[in-house]
Amino acid sequence: MITLRTDEEIEILRENALLVSKTLAEVGKRIQPGVSTLELDKLAETFIRDHGAAPGFLGYNGFPNTLCLSVNDVVVHGIPSAYRLKEGDVISVDCGTRYKGYYGDSAYTFAVGEINEDAKHLLKATKESLFKGIAQAIDGNRVGDISFAIQNHVEPFGYSVVREMVGHGLGSRMHEKPDVPNFGHRGHGKRLQNGMVICIEPMINAGTKDVFMDEDGWTLHTRDGKKSAHYELTVCVRKGHPDVLSTFEFIEKVIK
């Protein structure tokens, strides 16, 4: 069942979305060689709680931490640890909040120090594909229009789209209907309606689309060990234009 949100609900979701965006920026300030992923996780938890919200991921289906921190060949759901970031790493930071009975969810892939040109291009193309998908999130379109726009942007570069993980609806639960795949066909899938709130989140691999799950039951790796990138924004479907509730502006002020 897909829930169409009221204007009041959308504004609470926007509050969550902006807090997640600001949390990602705070984490981004600390991303550098030598910092551990667990240190980044603790920073995010403190920042979220200091702003009157709760971490949305902590305890969700048993997840043990505030952030999903996915380094290099980890696609998503990396568990924070004692691992210390190294020059040339890329790290996807996926963050959720819970505030006033609703959720926020957004992700950004950061460069650690100086990364090589291949990694720079993967991150650039993945972020571009997110905005190609968002442009299709308007009343009357279908989920497949978002999916196709993402897939069609990245595959000509030789990149591949992860099949096992997809975007999703967002509201009073972290994951709601509809699913929003990053691959598909124009004109297919659920019809998008005014008031639907969805998370669009391309997960794009430099090599094969094939992945495998770590023994921890969470960490998803690329099968060939090549890097993966992940960006996510929360969007409300509107007539004529998407209403993007979260933002990368805070992050990009920090990293520039």
Share the mean pLDDT of the chain: 98
Terminal CA-CA length for the chain: 42
pTM over 0.85: yes
pLDDT band for 256, please (50, 70, 90 cuts).
confident
Which CATH topology does 7-255 take? Creatine Amidinohydrolase (3.90.230)
Q: Can you list the positions of beta strands (E) in 74-123?
A: 74-76, 90-99, 102-111
pLDDT digits (tens, 9 = 90+) for 105-135: 999 999 999 999 999 999 999 999 999 999 9
pLDDT at 118: 98
Angle at 230 between CA 229 and CA 233, to 5 degrees: 150
In whole angstroms, what is the distance from residue 252 CA to residue 116 CA?
A: 19
Partners of residue 234 on adjacent β-strands: 199
pLDDT at 1: 87
Query: Residue 30: which H helix or E strand, with range?
Result: helix 7-30
Q: In what order do the strands lie in the sheet with 167-169?
A: 176-180, 167-169, 197-200, 233-236, 243-244
Quote the crossing angle between the two packed helices 143-154 and 117-134, to the nearest 10°: 160
pLDDT digits (tens, 9 = 90+) for 20-48: 999 999 999 999 999 999 999 999 999 99
pLDDT digits (tens, 9 = 90+) for 63-93: 999 999 999 999 999 999 999 999 999 999 9
Percentage of residues in the chain with pLDDT exceeding 70? 100
In whole angstroms, what is the distance from residue 210 CA to residue 98 CA?
A: 32
pLDDT at 172: 98
Angle at 233 between CA 229 and CA 235, to 5 degrees: 145
The pairing of beta strand 243-244 with beta strand 54-55: unpaired
In whole angstroms, what is the distance from residue 216 CA to residue 78 CA?
A: 10
User: Which three-class secondary structure state does DSSP give residue 208?
Assistant: coil
Residues 18 and 247: beta-carbon distance below 8 Å: yes
